Structure 1
């Protein structure tokens, strides 16, 4: 509390805001306009200027660290709340803050002198005028200062927006350059402006050769012709045909194969791609250009081809089986008249032996040029049969009369049916065969009059519907209607058959029992002798099982078969709906991306069957945590996702995530085991974090991996800081590719000495990187990035080859150098090509194997013990020595380490740092040295920085040392100089 003898100043509160859960206030002293920021630190309130005096940027949202320093968001300088003279403490009093800081109190001293009344009056008047002028000037100055402050603030915001725009462009470039999808961008005239590396590789051409050209150039002629026919050119539009197609159709999608866009007939990919086109619009709705993307669908096309072939074979078998049961002669021909298949009745009708028929399979030979047939002129030529139906009568020289009928097939060929109508028995035979076929047919046959009244049904009708012939005949055909087909359906059916056309489709009918069932149905008009429709013939087949199978297949395509949860396709569909709701109805939703922790351990220890049971139990708990309006999906493996719809605030997904973590971390009972697992959850919110499915899933995935980086089960919301961190890692990864190719990397060498002879016995090659754009990048930063991205193999190869190149150069200069050590990462050690790469490098540079040593960490050796053991033994067989780095920091067993074929054990620097102060560190080092001697290994200590450490290591019996006390890492030339001087 302020004491009564101090002058108290009140601060008027202008604004109250919450920043990261803590309250802050903007206030000004009474009768003054200078604005102050009031923050709370360790239960004490401090007042400081609202704007930074150096950058003139608002400190309202500035970070306050745990030491009580306010960090300027522009230049990063800190204002200490406790020691800065411009900061003072305040107390809250109702709607004001109060302070006893005298710097806020304006004091004025007015001197008076003894003057006469007239002079005093005049002086007072002048003072009044002067005071008014001063107030006006001060007011104007304050207004100008406020205007300048606002201008500077806007300038800072503009600079921040420009930096953000540059960051977004860099992110777009990084994504397009690394994505495994064909991507081409044009301007609004259709000229190509951007080509990603994947498109360059597919077209076998550099981007600069495509820039400015038309995308029509990489389309094959047949594809371009098809587009031109579908989207004819307008007189006013001179843009590429592909651009017009996208413009005309508000998007474009077509299966294509690329051609050489330069016309030089270079070989390009023979793969099939699904080409998609989308117009680009600017913020003002202006058309900016076109994005063309293509996805490799070659595998899908091959599978479709295989399926089509299998279907054809299946259909052919079914056709042969069906034809064999038909009494009519049936023969199928190709478009050029070649006989493809036929039944026995056909051979009987045309009186040709089947063996002979196989030798003369042409329509022209069998019909048009057959000398056994009279009046050949009435037989239609093959060319007419492929387009229209035909009927004709052919009379053979032996007196037989055959009725023939043809019809085109969908494949471009035609089918010919034949019936022997010789003499008077033709009608009786025909009726008998037809009656037998219909009565015994597996298809349901119904004949009605033109009003739909049933006049005939076959036994299959009764079997299918439950109605007997007596119950059905005389009734309307609608007795089997289910009532679920629309009025338009029946309207279209009747309009088709009344127009003398055949109708074919699927219908949902109802049995006498009330059971609904699906049927495939065809209705054909029957004409009388005058060509007028007299009846309708309906053929039906029960396809309920088929429809159920289709429904089951559709369900299987959209659901995870193990957990019965919706799969990724349903999740994406739901996410699209949520995006529409957010955009059109202003409804917010959240995406929770989840990955189980330690699930692999369950599979490895208890087997995949137990793992599957666990996944089912997890799915059930996730559904129990969710609302009916939420969508719970399994994306594959141990990854799940939830779309939480219509959230009111961020507390909704937060509450759901906490409930999920609480539920999943409870033990699961699988068989006789109680299993404990964790879950990591990434959360992104729409529309705040984006309105694109790909971006939202990517955001949630990034947030999930951030949560996974924290030990235990956690959730993490996506934010811009996370995006910036990942973008920075991607930038480093992108530049690392460039660094390997453009010689930005270099090697330094840190000498090792023998403690007994004080001679140099080796050196460790250490990788360094100084990027032209990013500056110096620490190995502790870029090595983990290289390991995660897979670049570590290429990076390790560079280090190995560069080291051997130096050794060869020194040998050629007659310089005798000791053994040089190169580090191997865990990924390199497990690489199947490691041994062959080492042999090839040694051969290429003519380096004896005993000049090279490979260093591995204890953790790397334990990542896959069996494979590591085999790899290390293979390295030893080459003649290369092995050192075990960071010894004592891992969790491996001594029995396993004793079996490893290593030559040196390197004591980790963390023990050496405290050797002269910590008895524990000294004891550990002494134990490691004794252990190394027992196992017959050379023991080397790294990180030796002072003389006392060196003396203690020597007294404990350590064999070799390296560290800054001996020499810091130095260049190759400096190392040779050091070597010569040491000798």
Structure 2
């Protein structure tokens, strides 16, 4: 082997060494590229080396693309080190390394840990920097222990001191009170002999004896002795002094306590003090012996489990097992304790009363100097509240928050299951679309509160009348859908529909009012009218439209004669195909503002169709047809191009928002052309990626989540901002949500609209904001129309808002004129 390795060999050797280390360690090149990521890093962060080496390692610690200490040191970015790692210091010696400490979120592990970080440069024989090694030490328990120590220190009823060198550097209020001084500052930086008579009772000078006592404590670790102190007024008193050698923040120190021997009760209380730290810990604590028999437990554990200490002492902790924790988890637990002396993870346990709950367990093996296990110490945190919150969010993702009925996603899923069963059993299924007649009039005249009460009562009547096997859902507004399943023949649906129609026409007693309300129903039948969910829902919607055309307050079964609407749709599609070529489309821009300071932070580009006959057509009237006819990709491409062109034009005049948001349909997201189209539009108009934000709906992102994640990551690589639109109206798997490379969630206007009058909507808004911020997302509140809605969002930490309260969508010319006038 040569005496001096060249740079490539040195890097290769170092990489091999890093991969063998048991300490979580990785290596970053001077270009910020990850060069090594060992197994310990995988265990700590939950990120496999392959993913980390692919460039995602920066997100392993904070959930966002944030530079690590090694990368900053490798690139000499000292200012960013100071900003991102306030608790840092340069390491002594020629290596010029950096030590830092901070809390880091491990999003893939779902936890937060306090890490001590050492970043050390790797240089070639000529002193040229090649890379930086970063090693991570999990000091979470140490950090928490320091915090508990400080609380104990400050709350102790007995005098407590900290000695560094031979001087008092800290004391608690009890020490100040016992000596009769006004503040602790008068006592700090003093030698123990300065608070004592000149000589002790044995004749030895206080200075000399204090030095000797401290030396013994440092050597032996603990020393207890008698001492005479002196109060501020000069009166002496006898004390029992205990000196204990400790380490605080890496520095050697002495922990000093005094006990007034004249007050035996105080001495006895102090003797029990250390035991009460264990007993009064907020975390459930358990200690077992080497054979895993329970030695003791604190009050929090006995309270949480329902067992007394006498009932569990000497028994195996398996008495808490519920049987729901996979057996392989226990095998991993014992393997980790044997190999690493430490394990943490989720366990499902059972209380004495039989109730099952999830808890987060941290278990440590305590070994004697010979390395033999003496005890196991376990701490537990009850995760029940977190589980309940997750269950609530999951429930709201599948149900209508007002009525508790299924939402659209759940309806379609269950209707698909019903059709599968019907095909197998040769039975029929009826799909019923239901609208409350003139519901808008109820809302406008009696208010949204009465409207919500009416919707809830309709839901109650439907649920209580139908069979458990039938499906009832609310799609939004006053639109309900019912699936009558397992019908022997199609005709069996008729009496049920008749009954529902009569039931919904009965008077409603709401808010001290009696309302006479009717309903219109449209029905499609499987297998007569369609073979799949979408076809049946479409035919039922056609039948409902026909029922309303027939004067409302009736029900209609779909027939082939109801094709007029389909004809109109074809005409609309025909006009759409020519509209793009004839330049009939235009964009209107709605402003978005920061809630913190009211500043303009962006605009959403909203498509409008200026039809030569129909006039200005909103997207709701034609987007569905565009999607069904395959025109949406061309139309969406035009929107991206036009939004980029307009933003570039504004910027050329020194005006315009920081960025423009554009909606992307599910067909666009699935298209291979989207990425190149966006890249070309940005280049053509001289815009950077962050000037454009793409909004995708939950349904678009979740229809094929793996494919969507891949495409969104490619778009994100261009520098674009990505937003999840209409959040809360679809179904977002929390597993996939945290993997989406989005920066913003847009809270759907339906929740914002109802939050003043509907506790569930308010709860959804608050929960969504909390969830989004926990995952590191910004939130835009949509459809803000009142100051009360704005204040609610601001109070709950919403980042941005848009809505009629501060600005309607307006054509670009309007904004040109507005900015010119301001100039």
Compute the TM-score of the two structures, normalised by the length of structure 2: 0.40
Q: Which has the larger radius of gyration?
A: 1
Structure 1-normalised TM-score?
0.34
